[in-house]
């Protein structure tokens, strides 16, 4: 159900079926790509096949440079799925950032 590049670690490990938390993780990777203009894990895609690496590996946020947006992205790809915000919460947070 997808590629390792965008797949939540728990989904790749077959620990769960696709759900909102796995979609939120994937959205965070896409947000990072939009903000940086780069493809996530372009030089490390082979590492994502390793279950232990996949749980912890995330793209570098220093290329984003705006802490409030970094906070949204990092929350959305949190290692613990239950600690990720809902899609609705992310929309609210992003709308709040736009108004700043």
> Whose CA is closest to 74, among 25, 6, 5, 23?
25
Is the residue at 85 inside a domain? Answer: yes
What CATH number has the domain bearing residue 20?
1.10.510.10
Is the residue at 4 inside a domain? Answer: no
Is the residue at 1 inside a domain? Answer: no
This prediction's pTM: 0.90
Please tell me the total count of domains within the chain.
1
Is the residue at 2 inside a domain? Answer: no
Which structural domain range is residue 27 located in? 9-99
pLDDT in tens, 3-44: 888 999 998 778 789 999 999 999 999 999 999 999 998 888
Dist CA 28 CA 52 (whole Å): 20
pLDDT in tens, 67-84: 999 999 999 999 999 999
Is the residue at 3 inside a domain? Answer: no
- Which token pair is 27? 């959205």
């Amino acid at each position: 159900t997808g590629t390792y590049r965008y797949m939540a670690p728990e989904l790749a490990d077959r620990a769960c079926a696709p759900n909102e938390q796995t979609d939120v993780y994937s959205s965070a990777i896409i947000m990072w790509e939009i903000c940086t203009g780069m493809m996530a894990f372009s030089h490390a895609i082979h590492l994502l096949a390793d279950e232990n690496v996949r749980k912890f590996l995330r793209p570098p946020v220093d290329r984003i440079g705006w802490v409030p947006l970094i906070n949204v992205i990092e929350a959305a790809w949190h290692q613990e799925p239950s600690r990720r915000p809902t899609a609705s919460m992310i929309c609210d947070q992003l709308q709040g950032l736009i108004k700043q």
